[in-house]
Amino acid sequence: MNTASRLARLILLALALMLPATHAAAQDYLPPVPEGRDPGLWDLMNRAIDQMYEASPDGIGPLLNDESRNDQLGDGSAAAIEKQNRQTRALLEELQSLDRSGFSDADHLAADLLIYQWTQNQRLAKFKDWQMPVNSIGGPQVWLPQMGDSVPLNTRKHYQDYLTKLKRVPIAVGDAIDNMRLGISDGRVPPRVVVEPAVDQAMAQAAPEFREDPTKSPFYGPFLDLDQ
């Protein structure tokens, strides 16, 4: 996930979660409409949050205090990313067409921030940075081994969810490889100096010591404290 996407998510979630709730939301994990806020704008923001949750369940779920998608990994395929871009474009057009005559100051601020951020996202989308998903500080070779540190592990269901995530690791890695191949085909690749450290990082996850003793792998880490 690039910096712009992370910023957009933080802005949207902050705007949606900072006020107390008064009316029922369509989904239990989505923030209901607070008193004095425009229902149309709030509904749009909630749909945006739900779309982000679908795209990044492991990143958004904890922010919403929801565990219904704990067993999922985000879809990093080219098709999913293009779908997210289309959804953002549609939300932006809808937001720009809203009647703002009854907006509160908070509504105007939220709308202005989202229009700015989504407009920037659309401008950046043409660069297709998702075709360069690997570097020395990011990529599946970085975030997948850290996965066990960011999931709840308090119940049997939590461990079952984590096991399901592990089974989906090959899909996440495959998506990254496919995206890099698309980047190569399009002539869109990062400098060698940026990518070379990632090779060592990836190979480290396949170290012989992990094959000889899987309990030493970071992927096994959450099970070390599991009661037998």
pLDDT digits (tens, 9 = 90+) for 193-209: 999 999 999 999 989 99
Write down the domain spans for the chain: 1-127, 131-228
Within 13 Å and on the Cβ side, how many CA atoms surround 30? 21
Look up the pTM and report it. Answer: 0.83
Q: What is the predicted pLDDT for the residue at 23?
A: 40
Residue 113 CB coordination number (10 Å): 15
Average pLDDT score over the chain: 89
Fill in the DSSP letter of residue 222: G
In degrees and rounded to multiples of 5, residue 138 shows phi and psi of -155, 160
Residue 36 neighbours by CB distance under 10 Å: 10
Percent of the chain scoring above 90 in pLDDT: 76
pLDDT in tens, 78-87: 999 999 999 9
pLDDT at position 25: 47
pLDDT digits (tens, 9 = 90+) for 69-112: 999 999 999 999 999 999 999 999 999 999 999 999 999 999 99
* Backbone torsions φ then ψ of 25, nearest 5 degrees: -95, 160
Could you tell me the two tokens for 211? 């094959």
* β-sheet bridge partners, residue 138: 135
Alpha-helical runs (H) found in the chain:
3-17, 39-55, 57-64, 78-97, 105-125, 140-143, 156-167, 169-186, 192-204, 208-212
pLDDT surpasses 90 at 226:
no
Mean pLDDT calculated for residue range 24-45: 84
Q: How much is the pLDDT for 129?
A: 95
pLDDT of residue 15: 56
CA dist 29 and 192 (Å) reads 43
- Confidence band of 57 (pLDDT split at 50, 70, 90): very high
Task: Find the distance separating the first CA and the last CA of the chain, reported in whole Å.
Answer: 37
Q: Which residue has the tokens 């996440």?
A: 172
Sort 210 into a burial class: Cβ within 10 Å, 0-12 / 13-18 / 19+.
Answer: middle
Q: How far apart are CA 33 and CA 136, in angstroms?
A: 42
The reported pLDDT for the residue numbered 22 is 40
